[in-house]
Amino acid sequence: MSPLHEQHFRAIENLIFEWARAIDENRVEAIADLLLEDGRYTVKSRFNHDRDLPMAIIDSRSAAQLRDRIKSMRIANIYEPHHYRHILSGVQIVGEQAGVLQVRSNYLVVRTMALDGDMKIISTGQCQDEVILTPSGPKFKQRLFLYDSRIIETLLVIPI
Amino acid sequence: MNIPSASLDEASIQGPTSRRHITPRTWPAEGYTRAPYWAYTDPDIYAQEQLKIFRGKTWNYVGLEAEVPEAGNFKTTFIGEQSVVLTRAEDHSLHVVVNRCAHRGNMLCRDAFGKVKKLYCVYHAWNYNLQGELTHAAFSHGLRGEGGLPADFQLSEHGLHKLRVASLCGLVFATFSDEVEPLEDWLGDVAQGIRRVLHKPLKVLGYDTQRIHANWKAYHENPRDSYHANILHTFYGTFGLSRQSQESGMTLDTHGRHVYFYTKAGTEKKSQDFDATSAALRSVNDAMQLEDPGILKWRDEFGDGVSVQILTTYPSFVLHQIANSLATRQLIPRGVGESDLVWTYFGFEDDDDALTQARLVQGNLAGSAGMISVEDAAVCEMMQRAMADGQNGESFIEMGGKTLDSGGNTKLSERAIRNFWHNYCLDMDLA
């Protein structure tokens, strides 16, 4: 294991947990503050990734684009009310390049529908993140969610 | 043990299906201006659709030529519920076969894409060439004079089930029917909408599959429904990509099976009735300002000012141009109440990087997480649940008038939906 893992593990783990908790507590706007202004948030299928195909279902190429997406979710988009619970595991700092920490973790998202209470695992996969330690704490330079299934259940409007 | 014989008899005649009867269905007297909700919920109707529509006289989209560019490439996909394989043979010809060994029915291809020299069944090593002809069956002559296939067995009589194949501008379609007219005749005037977009070699950018818990027809009606587009989808109206006040139109083929709509951004025609109606629409929302409107910057790459074109062919295909986002959508039914919608995003081989990046960024607008289009799947599922068991109720489809022609070419019309149900009833022998 990288020596960096021991040194920064708690701070990085906390950053990943903060992201998930903000979404699960319906404070989705707060995730944009964890992304650098020129950072990137991408949700892409393992299917495309394995084939070197560039298309991602969500690709916010700045914190501003992520805020726009969250705004669209709040005021423009129509969907049945639901919320998420993130289950996270296996946080590891696997390397460092020019001050950017390479981080891996696993995620699983359970979606609960507000009207009828239906619950379903809607996504699971690996996060491949790049994190920079700034004076105000660690921030994501890149968050890449690689989801394992080719299938998206109905729609993905709340970010994961 | 002493079991009375009467109870055995009873058991033998009371199986779970012995009392099942098929409800005879009668279409509402108003015809194609109504769609009864049992059409979306009845498993017997669904079973008939597989035979009469998906394996009937229709051309079904199976993929892009660019997905099987080289000899030996294959793609596994579906027509209706039937798994099929698209292959490119050594002579570069395209073939579509049922993905099922002619021997005992095992699935041949288990990968979505691949490159092979032959199609091979793992169960008993029956081999087929890329055209679907049987070339070898393991131990067909037995061993030491014992076993093996009968003396009159002919390899040529046991090939895979082959479909008719045709392609247009890089789109590949297949049909189970020997009777349906050639592809371009079947598409009629709607082929123009395909030629307009697909005018040079394509490059696949990626896939997105959306599982929608609704009957396939609930989705199929959606891109034929030009009435909803600028009402449900706030993003369109607010940012001016597509509004009712802009120059727009609709083209159907002579049979009304297929349709495409277009809208030209930046061609607003002011009118009092538009201003009055749009003020009340949820989709014209002044609060919806983007911090980074770069996502909506688009190039008029076809040189005709069309910002959105949505093209639908019966029964399961859509081609979209939303600004510079280009994709096919293939509708795959998975039971009476579930469908997969497979989005294949593409650009052109000669795109520069800036155009490729624009297509990828605009990918945020469409698909299963699309800021424009997430609403469609939500509405299909809400419709399906509101239909409940489908035993009562019907939809009302008279926007633009009551006939197949009424509504003309205006987008404020359900003409293309009436034409769908007209063709559906013909194919399904429903009246």
Q: Does position B7 have pLDDT exceeding 60, yes or no? A: no
* Alpha-carbon gap, residue B66 to B88, rounded angstroms: 11
DSSP per-residue string spanning B289-321: --S-GGGG----TTSS-EEEEEEEETTTEEEEE
Query: Would the pLDDT of B8 be above 50?
Result: no
**Is B288 close to A72, i.e. CB distance below 8 A?**
yes
Q: How many CB pairs under 8 A join A and B?
A: 120
Residue of A nearest to B374 (CA): A155
Question: Which position has the higher pLDDT, B3 or A5?
Answer: A5
Q: Is B111 helix (H, G, I), strand (E, B) or coil?
A: coil
Question: Among B313, B316, B342, which Cα is nearest to B327's?
Answer: B342
Confirm or reject contact between B388 and chain A (CB < 8 A). Answer: no
User: Same structural domain for residues B244 and B370?
Assistant: yes
Is B86 within the bounds of a domain? yes
Handedness of CA A114, A119, A123, A124 (dihedral sign): positive
For B202-260, write each residue's pLDDT tens digit.
999 999 999 999 999 999 999 999 888 778 887 776 666 666 778 888 999 999 999 99
- Chain A residues touching chain B at CB-CB below 8 Å: 43, 45, 47-48, 51, 53-62, 64-65, 67-69, 71-72, 75-80, 150-157
d(CA B227, CA B223): 10
Place of tokens 């095992």: B106
* B171 vs B268, higher pLDDT: B171
CA distance B391 to chain A (A): 22
Do B324 and B228 fall into the same domain?
yes
Residue B196 structural domain: 189-428
The pLDDT value given to residue B281: 58
Query: Does residue B248 sit in the same domain as residue B388?
Result: yes
Comparison of pLDDT for B322 and A3, the residue scoring more: B322
For residue B294, the model assigns a pLDDT of 85
Would an 8 Å CB–CB cutoff place B263 in contact with chain A? Answer: no
Does B251 fall in a domain?
yes
Distance (Å) from the alpha carbon of A35 to chain B's nearest alpha carbon = 16
Q: Is the pLDDT of residue B1 over 50?
A: no
Measured between beta carbons, the chain B residues lying within 8 angstroms of A59 are 360-361, 363-364
- Split at pLDDT 50, 70, 90, the class of B12 is very low
B133 touches chain A (CB under 8 A): no
* Disruptive mutation site among B239, B288, B373, B374 for chain A (greatest number of A CBs within 10 Å): B374
pLDDT at A83 > cutoff 70: yes
Cβ contact, residue pair A69, B234, below 8 Å: no
Query: What is the b/e burial string over B251-271, where b = at least 16 CB atoms within 10 angstroms of the residue's CB?
Result: bbbeebbbbbbbbbbeeeeee
Residues B149, B80 share a domain: yes
**B46 in a structural domain:** no
Residue B135: inside a domain? yes
Nearest to B375 among A45, A75, A77 (CB): A77
A156 contacts: CB under 8 Å, gap ≥ 6:
A43, A57, A58, A122, A123, B368, B369, B374
3 state SS of B269: coil
Q: Are residues B74 and B193 in the same domain?
A: no
Residue A76: its chain B contacts at CB < 8 A? 234-235, 238, 285, 288, 371
Do B228 and B360 share a structural domain?
yes
The pLDDT confidence band at residue B323, using thresholds 50, 70 and 90, is: very high
Domain boundary among B131, B166, B201: B166
- Determine which of A57, A62, A111 to mutate to test the interface with B (most B C-beta atoms within 10 Å): A57
- Cβ contacts of A53 on chain B, cutoff 8 Å: 204-207
Residue B255 C-alpha, separation from nearest chain A C-alpha, in angstroms: 32
- Going by pLDDT thresholds of 50, 70 and 90, the confidence category of residue A154 is very high
Strand partners, A151: B209
| Domain match, B162 and B207 both | no
Give Cβ neighbours of residue B142 (< 8 Å, ≥ 6 apart). B148
- Judge contact between B359 and B347, C-beta under 8 A: yes
Contacts of B229 in chain A (CB under 8 A): none
CA of B79: how far to CAs of B317, B336, B427, in Å? 11, 15, 17
* Residue B412, CA distances (Å) to B187, B275, B366, B416 in order: 23, 15, 22, 11
- Residues A31, A33, A39: CA angle, nearest 5 degrees: 90
| Residues of chain B contacting residue A64, judged by C-beta atoms under 8 Å apart | 291-292
CA distance B262 to B306: 6
Phi, psi of B211 (to 5 degrees): -95, 115
The verdict on a CB contact (< 8 Å) between B292 and A77 is no
Query: Residue B21's pLDDT is what?
Result: 63
Q: Would you call A80 and B290 a contact, using CB atoms and an 8 Å cutoff?
A: no
Instruction: Name the residue with higher pLDDT: A151 or B411.
Output: A151
B381–A80 CB contact, under 8 Å? yes
Calculate the alpha carbon distances from B171 to B64, B83, B113, B255 in Å: 5, 18, 17, 21
Q: List the beta bridge partners of residue B306.
A: B264
The answer to whether the beta carbons of residues A123 and A109 sit under 8 Å apart is yes
CA A57 to centroid of chain Cα atoms: 13
What's the token pair of residue A130? 């790049």
Q: Is the pLDDT of residue A70 over 80?
A: yes
Same domain for B160 and B240, yes or no, is no
Cβ contacts of A71 on chain B, cutoff 8 Å: 288, 290-291
Long-range contacts of B106-110 (CB under 8 A, 24+ apart): B107/B83, B108/B160, B109/B74, B109/B76, B109/B85, B110/B76
Q: How far apart are CA A142 and CA A127, in angstroms?
A: 10
Encoded tokens for B325: 């986002």
Residue B102 has pLDDT above 90, yes or no: yes
Q: Is A7 helix (H, G, I), strand (E, B) or coil?
A: helix
- Residue A144, classed as helix, strand or coil, is strand
B297 in contact with A, Cβ within 8 Å: no
Confidence of residue B269 (pLDDT cuts 50, 70, 90): low
Q: Which of B130, B151, B166 is the last residue of a domain?
A: B166
Do the domain assignments include residue B138?
yes
Taking an 8 Å cut-off on Cβ atoms, the answer to whether B290 and A78 are in contact is: no
Set of chain A residues whose Cβ sits within 8 Å of the Cβ of B367: 57
pLDDT at B427: 97
Identify the pLDDT of residue A33.
Answer: 98
Distance from CA of A84 to the nearest CA of B (A): 16
Domain end residue (candidates: B166, B199, B218): B166
What are the tens digits of pLDDT across the range B153-175?
999 999 999 999 999 999 999 99
ipTM computed for the complex: 0.96
Residue of chain A whose Cα is closest to the Cα of B368: A155
User: Which domains are seen in chain A, by residue range?
Assistant: 3-147 (3.10.450.50)
The residue type at A69 = R
CATH of the domain at B420: 3.90.380.10
H or E element: which one contains B377?
helix B374-387
Say if residue B217 is in the same domain as residue B294.
yes
- The distance of B427 to chain A (nearest Cα, Å) reads 29
Examine the domain organization and report whether B329 and B398 are in the same domain: yes
Tokens 């099922």 belong to B100
Question: What tens digit of pLDDT does each residue of B62-93 get?
Answer: 999 999 999 999 999 999 999 999 999 999 99
**In this structure, which long-range contacts are made by residues B238-242, counting pairs with CB atoms below 8 Å and at least 24 apart in sequence?**
B238/A76, B238/B283, B238/B284, B238/B285, B238/B286, B238/B288, B239/B288, B239/B290, B239/B293, B239/B296, B240/B265, B240/B266, B240/B268, B241/B265, B241/B296, B241/B307, B241/B308, B241/B322, B241/B323, B241/B372, B242/B307, B242/B308
Contact yes or no for A77/A68 (Cβ under 8 A): no
Average pLDDT (A51-72) is 97
Facing A69 at nearest CB: one of B287, B371, B378: B371
Contact check, Cβ <8 Å, A150/B113: no
- Asked, as a colleague might, if the bond just before B315 is cis with ω within 30 of 0, I would say yes
Tally of domains in chain B: 2
Q: Give the tens place of pLDDT for each residue, B369-425.
A: 999 889 999 999 999 999 999 999 999 999 999 999 998 888 889 999 999 999 999
> Does residue B72 belong to any structural domain of this protein?
yes
Quote the mean pLDDT of chain B: 91
Q: Looking at residue B242, what is its pLDDT?
A: 65
Q: What is the CATH number of the domain that holds B146?
A: 2.102.10.10
| Residue B52 belongs to a domain | no
Same domain, B326 and B195: yes
Closest residue of chain B to A74, computed from CA coordinates: B288
Q: How far apart are alpha carbons B274 and B265 in whole angstroms? A: 16
Task: For residue A75, give the nearest of B208, B288, B368 by CB distance.
Answer: B288
My answer on whether B297 and B149 are in the same domain is no
**Structure confidence at residue B128 (pLDDT):** 98
Distance CA B167, CA B377 (A): 29
Minimal Cβ distance to B377: which of A58, A65, A154: A154
Residue B12 within any structural domain of the chain: no
The per-residue pLDDT for range B30-47, each reduced to its tens digit, is 999 999 999 999 999 999
